[in-house]
Amino acid sequence: MSNLRPQAVLFDLDGTLVDTAPDFVRVLNELRQQHGRPALSHQQIRPAVSAGARAMVNVGFPEYSLDSHEFLQLRQAFLDNYGQNVCQDSQVFTGLETLLAGLEAQGIPWGIVTNKPRIYSEALLSALALAQRCAVLVCPDDVKNTKPDPEPMYLACKHLNIEPTQTVYVGDHLRDIQAGKNAQMTTIAVGFGYIVEGENIADWQADYCVDSVDELIGLFAL
């Protein structure tokens, strides 16, 4: 294993730092119930979480085209319901608190670069008591171009006053790795996130690939 000694560590949020799938599964199934449909399994919904609300609603209501009036109404209802309680069942992935505490103990700032809108991201971090510990939070609201564009990565580093080349980015989606590489960061792909069936994280060409939180922690010299 490597002994990474970055000046900062940035994480994707959903599926990388926090397991938000339980709340999204709950909200989507509540919406399906309202429309007289049976609940879907956790396994059916989980892989779509990192792709956002549109992808999840498409799993729940596949018969509607993504630009139809019906679909857009369903997507808004999904977001409205999620916004009412973003953290009923979400939690930091088991074991990751050890990594966060280890980084903090060494004075290494950690932050988040996510495609999740700020209104939900801030509420989630607050509910998990992470808001004050997170050194920087960059959301789609803050930039013109979102991941895989490097703009949000550069903005996070600017806030931290740390060079991207001295920063590690951790993510569970191809666009995460692309954004990190586009910003010349060291990238880590995690297989414990919301990986689509049949997808191989090794194909993303990250600098490191790990399948567990323990493997991720083992990459760092803590």
Q: What's the pLDDT tens digit per position in 54-81? A: 999 999 999 999 999 999 999 999 999 9
Catalytic one among 12, 19, 23, 172?
12
Q: Is residue 115 part of a domain?
A: yes
Same structural domain, 119 and 189: yes
Which pLDDT value is given to residue 184?
98
Which pLDDT value is given to residue 48?
92
SS (H, E, C) the chain: CCCECCCEEEECCECCCEECHHHHHHHHHHHHHHCCCCCCCHHHHHHHHHHCHHHHHHHHCCCCCCCCHHHHHHHHHHHHHHHHCCCCCCEECCCHHHHHHHHHHCCCCEEEECCCCHHHHHHHHHHCCCCCCCCCEECHHHCCCCCCCCHHHHHHHHHHCCCHHHEEEEECCHHHHHHHHHCCCEEEEECCCCCCCCCCHHHHCCCEEECCHHHHHHCECC
Active site residue 19: no
Supply the mean pLDDT for the chain.
96
Which pLDDT value is given to residue 1?
47
Same structural domain, 63 and 15: no
Same structural domain, 197 and 125: yes
Domain holding 46, by residue range, is: 21-84
Same structural domain, 69 and 94: no
Strand partners, 111: 10
Which pLDDT value is given to residue 222?
81
Active site residue 23: no
Same structural domain, 104 and 150: yes
Same structural domain, 43 and 151: no
Q: Is residue 161 part of a domain?
A: yes
- Tokens 């700020």 locate to 118
Which pLDDT value is given to residue 164?
98
Same structural domain, 111 and 60: no
Which pLDDT value is given to residue 196?
85
Cα–Cα distance for residue pair 197/168, rounded to 1 Å: 26
Same structural domain, 97 and 157: yes
Same structural domain, 14 and 25: no
Q: Which residue, 198, 158, 64, 178, is CA-closest to 115?
A: 178
- Tokens 């992935």 locate to 93
Same structural domain, 100 and 143: yes
Which of these three, 55, 84, 113, is where a domain ends? Answer: 84
How many domains would you assign to the chain? 2
Backbone angles phi, psi at 47, to 5 degrees: -60, -20
Same structural domain, 26 and 13: no
Which pLDDT value is given to residue 50?
83
- Counting as low any pLDDT under 70, the low residues of the chain are 1-2
